[in-house]
Amino acid sequence: MMRALLGLNFAFLLSDVALAENFSQPIIWQDLADTDLIRVNDTYYYSGSNMHFSPGAEILRSYDLVNWDLQGGNVYNKGIYASSLRFHEATGTFYWIGCIQGTGKTYIYTAPNIEGPWTQTSIIQNYCYYDDGLLIDDDGTMYVSYGKWVANGTQAKIWVAELTSDLQNKQSQVVFNTTEEIGYVEGSRFYKINGTYYIWLTNPGVGNGQIMLKSSGGPFGPYDSWHRVLENNGQPVHGGSSPYQGAIVDTPEGKWWYIAFVNLWPGGRLPVLAPITWDWTGMPNVQFVNGDDWGSTYPYPLPQVPVTPISKLDRFSGPTLGPQYEWNHNPDDIKWSVKDGLHLETATITDDFFSAQNTLSHRILGPHSNATINVDYSSMIDGDRAGLVVFRYDAGWLGITKNGTVTTLQMVDYAIMNSTGGWHTTNTGSVVDSVEVHGGSIWLRTSCDISGSSGSAKFSYSTDGKSYIQLGHTHVMDNSQLFFVGARYGIFNFATKQLGGSVVVKSFEISA
């Protein structure tokens, strides 16, 4: 039912940033981590990780580095980690490369345009380029810097691979062994700047820092000098961690900027932006404020180009889903459609939300937001469960339940998935409150607060779309790190007895 994740997600992530002289951190209040960043002429593209959500890694687009559009077995956390995105100027081709953790294989996709069509060009069978960084050299030769996750974090090596013309591994060798002084490193990004090769690495074991390696030779080194760019340098987002792991990019005018992220659980990993300068040794430095702190605000790097805000109403008019959505697992495509609403047939018989297929997710918009759905539940059958959920590895939901001829609305909480021995559900949840409903149509709402280290969600319902009544108690989100994803809204419909029932979600609205 759940497969390793292939394909790319080109959607539109829409940021609502007012026209002002300065921007504030985070630049997008959503869970968008493991950045790779490129510029093609005056347009910037940003690739992130998807962990296990489907269809795949997100790609975002911006013209000013602050306002961004998002372009189009059990495998929890075994999807795409830090992937890499590059543009081959000589051929006019975009390249995306990433390892899918559940398969241990590296996949390369190419496209003539960022919107696609994207083609799976290569599968590198025996190499998982973990947290990879792609470099296209001046002569067109492609190199990949990558690491290997080490469970105890006491050692790490960085490799560089050269690819063949048909995008297979030609040769691969270790170019850097970390030292006790440096600590654990990963998250490779690979650059050639003014003729010099650099590998940009995150240093999570030392104050969530950042390390730059510099080669005195070619792409295979030797990488015989290094520079600590960041080490526990402030909190640009209140309550969050110090910034780390991201990518650097230049503007057409030759200015350099760094997008990193901060941890703020349960909201996730939020992108932050700062200018960088280069010193006389050829090493970069982040421009701090108040001594050695990453600023909570900076002047805009470029003239602003606003985009449509995330807060909006989606009526699922068809013929496809808006690419801001991701499925919790690879979907059963014959069990859903989009035309005058999102039609969800039950695809799974289970009493476990985490095992239910065709749960559609959307990143929560912080710091505070409401998500509201209007559901036609008239075609549900005995045993069906459908509604609105807030989830990560814990879940609370408000859903319509069909038991015989009786239809009730239930607030369910305490659904929990545990990582011990692999991700398994340890609690399917308990009914906190319920009320009998009639009429076949209802509005469900969750009001979320992910502004700090203790996230919460309240659930309410309406029979007219105007007046809302709270049901149940406040769902308190697990604020531990667990495994690198932030809490999400979700829309679900699953069966506990037999398949055949369905719902139509007439609309989904986010309001800040």
The per-residue pLDDT for range 355-410, each reduced to its tens digit, is: 999 999 999 999 999 999 999 999 999 999 999 999 988 999 999 999 999 999 99
Cα–Cα–Cα angle for 450, 452, 457, rounded to 5 degrees: 35
β-pairing, 225-230 vs 142-147, is unpaired
- The Cα-based distances of 284 to 222, 232, 287 in angstroms read 19, 17, 10
> In the structure encoding, which two tokens stand for residue 497, read together?
């007895």
Identify which of 335, 330, 454, 313 has the alpha carbon closest to the alpha carbon of residue 386: 335
Q: What integer pLDDT is reported at residue 403 of this predicted model?
A: 96
Q: Which residue has the tokens 């009998």?
A: 436
Distance (Å, rounded) from C-alpha 4 to C-alpha 330? 8
Closest CA to 220 of 281, 306, 162, 275: 162
- Whether 187 contacts 259, CB under 8 Å: no
Indicate whether 10 pLDDT > 50: no
Angle at Cα 233 formed by Cα 231 and Cα 239, nearest 5°? Answer: 120
- The answer to whether the Cα torsion of 439, 440, 441, 444 is positive or negative is positive
Burial class (CB in 10 A: 0-12, 13-18, 19+), 262: buried
Do 338 and 494 touch, CB atoms closer than 8 A? no
Going by their DSSP bridges, the two strands 8-9 and 57-62 should be labelled as parallel
CATH 2.60.120.200 in the chain: give the residue spans.
312-511
Top pLDDT among 46 and 372 is at: 372
**Architecture, CATH, for domain 8-299:** 5 Propeller (2.115)
Compute the average pLDDT of residues 465-474. 98
Give the number of C-alpha atoms closer than 13 A to the C-alpha of residue 361, restricted to the C-beta side: 28
Residue count of the chain, please give it: 512
Q: How much is the pLDDT for 153?
A: 53
Q: What is the pLDDT of residue 80?
A: 65
Sign of the CA dihedral running 172, 173, 176, 178: positive
What is the predicted pLDDT for the residue at 99?
85
CB 301 within 8 A of CB 64: yes
Residue of 285, 336, 324 whose CA lies nearest to 32: 324
Residue 17 has pLDDT above 60, yes or no: no
Helix (H) or strand (E) holding 119: strand 119-124
53 vs 264: CA distance, rounded Å: 20
pLDDT at position 176 over 90:
yes
- Could you list the beta-strand ranges (E) of 380-439: 384-391, 394-403, 406-418, 424-436
Q: How confident is the model at residue 12 (pLDDT cuts 50, 70, 90)?
A: very low
Please state, rounded to an integer, the average pLDDT across all residues of the chain: 88
Nearest to 503 by CA among 339, 317, 375, 404: 375
Question: 333: buried, middle or exposed (CB in 10 Å: 19+, 13-18, 0-12)?
Answer: exposed
pLDDT tens profile 262-280: 999 899 999 999 999 999 9
Least reliable range by pLDDT among 62-71, 230-239, 267-276, 378-387: 62-71
At a CB cut-off of 8 Å and minimum separation 6, what does 245 contact? 33, 34, 35, 82, 187, 202, 204, 210, 260, 261
Euclidean distance between CA atoms 252 and 270, whole angstroms: 26
Note whether 306 and 67 are within 8 A (CB).
Answer: yes
CA distance 367 to 200: 30
- Residue 283 dihedral angles phi and psi, to the nearest 5°: -115, 150
CA-based nearest residue to 213, from 246, 240, 177 = 177
What DSSP state is assigned to residue 325?
Answer: -
Per-residue pLDDT averaged across 208-214, rounded? Answer: 89
In single-letter form, the type of residue at position 281 comes to T
Residue 105 belongs to what H/E stretch? Answer: strand 105-111
Architecture of domain 312-511: Sandwich (2.60)
Closest C-alpha to 486, from 326, 250, 295, 355: 326
Question: Which 3 state secondary structure label does DSSP give 335?
Answer: helix
More confident residue, 154 or 192: 192
Does pLDDT of 98 surpass 80?
Answer: yes
In the 8-state DSSP scheme, what is residue 380? -
Query: How far is CA 327 from each of CA 2, 109, 337, 342, 428, rounded to the nearest angstrom?
Result: 11, 21, 13, 13, 20
Which residue from 208, 335, 328 is spatially nearest to 261, judged by alpha carbons?
Answer: 208
Q: Is the pLDDT of residue 11 over 60?
A: no
- Rounded (5°) CA angle 51-242-187: 40
Please give the order of strands across the beta sheet that includes 142-147: 130-136, 142-147, 157-163, 169-177
Q: How many angstroms separate the CA atoms of 75 and 152, rounded?
A: 22
Residues whose CB falls within 8 Å of the CB of residue 165, separated by 6 or more in sequence, listed in order = none
Instruction: Provide mean pLDDT across the span 303-311.
Output: 82
**244-250/225-230 β-pairing:** unpaired
Amino acid at 17: V
Structure tokens at 502: 């369905």
> Omega into 266 within 30° of 0, i.e. cis?
yes
Q: Residues of CATH 2.115.10.20 domain(s) within the chain?
A: 8-299
